[in-house]
Structure 1
Amino acid sequence: MSTLNRRYDIDWLRVIAIGLLLIYHVAIGFQPWGIMIGFITNGTSWMSLWTPMTMLNIWRIPFLFFVSGMGVYFSMQHRNWKALLQERSLRILVPYVFGMICIFPVSVLILQHYYQWDLSYAVNAGHLWFLGNIFAYVVLLSPLFYYLQKNQNGKFVTGLKKILSNPLGLIPVVGLFIAEVLVVKPIPYELYAMTWHGFVLGFLAFFVGFCFVLCGDSFWNMLVKWRWLFVALASGLFLVRLLVLGLKTPGYLLVVESDGWIFSVLAFGHKYLNHPGKTLSYLSQAAYPVYILHMIFLSLASWLIFPLALPVQLKFVMVLVFTFSGCFGAFEIIRRVSLLRPLFGLKMKERSLAVKGNKPGWAQA
Structure 2
Amino acid sequence: MHRRYDIDALRALAFALLILYHCAMLYVADWGWHLKSSHLSETLQLPMLFMNRWRMDLIFLISGLSVHFLLRNGSLGRFVAQRSWRLLLPLTFGCLLIVPIQPYAQGVANGLVEPGFIDFLIRYYRFQPWPKDAFDGWEYGFTWNHLWYLAYLWVYTLVFAALLPWFRNAWGRRLYGAIASLRGWALIALPAVPLAIGSILLQPHFEETGDLIHDWYRHAIYFTVFLYGYWLGNDAGLWRELVRLRRRTLVLALGLFGVYLAMLKLLPEDVSDPVQYTLWATRSLYIWAALCAILGWSHHLLNRPLRWLPWATEAVYPWYVLHQSLIVSIAYWILPLKFGPLAEPVIVLFGTLAGCFVLHEIIRRVPPLRPLFGLKARRAKVEWPAVVPTAMPAVDLA
TM-score clears 0.5: yes
**Total equivalences in the alignment:** 354
Contact 1:70-1:209 within 8 A present in 2 as well: yes
The alpha-carbon deviation at position 240 of structure 1 amounts to 2.4
The letter of the residue matching 1:238 is F
Counterpart residue number, 1:208: 228
Larger-gyration structure (1/2): 2
What is the RMSD of the two structures over their aligned residues, measured on CA atoms?
2.7
CA distance, structure 1, for counterparts of residue 266 and residue 142 of structure 2? 34
Contact 2:72-2:394 within 8 A present in 1 as well: no
Within 5 Å, give how 1:135-284 maps onto structure 2: 135-145=154-164, 148=167, 154-162=173-181, 164-185=182-203, 191=208, 193-194=210-211, 195-214=215-234, 216-246=235-265, 248=267, 250-284=279-313
User: What per-residue deviation string (whole Å, max 9, x for no partner) do you get for residues 212-270 of structure 1?
Assistant: 115x1110111111111111111112222334533857211111111111111011001
Q: 2:7 aligns with which of 5, 10, 26?
A: 10
User: What per-residue deviation string (whole Å, max 9, x for no partner) do you get for residues 39-61 of structure 1?
Assistant: 21111212212211110000001
User: What per-residue deviation string (whole Å, max 9, x for no partner) do you get for residues 254-307 of structure 1?
Assistant: 111111111110110010111123411111111111111111110122123323
The alpha-carbon deviation at position 349 of structure 1 amounts to 1.4
TM-score of the superposition, structure 2-length normalised? Answer: 0.81
Q: 1:129 aligns with which of 148, 151, 156?
A: 148
CA distance, structure 2, for counterparts of residue 45 and residue 337 of structure 1? 40
**Is the alpha carbon distance of 1:151 and 1:76 closer, same or farther for their aligned partners in structure 2, counting shifts above 3 Å?**
farther
User: What per-residue deviation string (whole Å, max 9, x for no partner) do you get for residues 70-105 of structure 1?
Assistant: 011111111110110111011111111222222212
CA distance, structure 1, for counterparts of residue 361 and residue 165 of structure 2? 36
The letter of the residue matching 2:12 is V
Contact 1:345-1:362 within 8 A present in 2 as well: no
CA distance, structure 1, for counterparts of residue 254 and residue 300 of structure 2? 20
CA distance, structure 2, for counterparts of residue 188 and residue 308 of structure 1? 40
The letter of the residue matching 2:61 is F
CA distance, structure 2, for counterparts of residue 253 and residue 188 of structure 1? 20
TM-score of the superposition, structure 1-length normalised? Answer: 0.88
2:52 paired with 1:57: yes
Give structure 1 stretches of 5+ with no counterpart: none
Counterpart residue number, 2:320: 291
Q: Percent identity?
A: 27
The letter of the residue matching 2:87 is I
Q: 2:87 aligns with which of 92, 113, 125?
A: 92
SS of aligned partner of 2:38:
coil
The alpha-carbon deviation at position 187 of structure 1 amounts to 8.5
2:375 paired with 1:346: yes
CA distance, structure 2, for counterparts of residue 292 and residue 257 of structure 1? 29
Residue range with higher mean Cα deviation, 127-136 or 314-323: 314-323
CA distance, structure 2, for counterparts of residue 14 and residue 356 of structure 1? 19
Please state which structure has a larger fraction of its residues in helix. Answer: 1
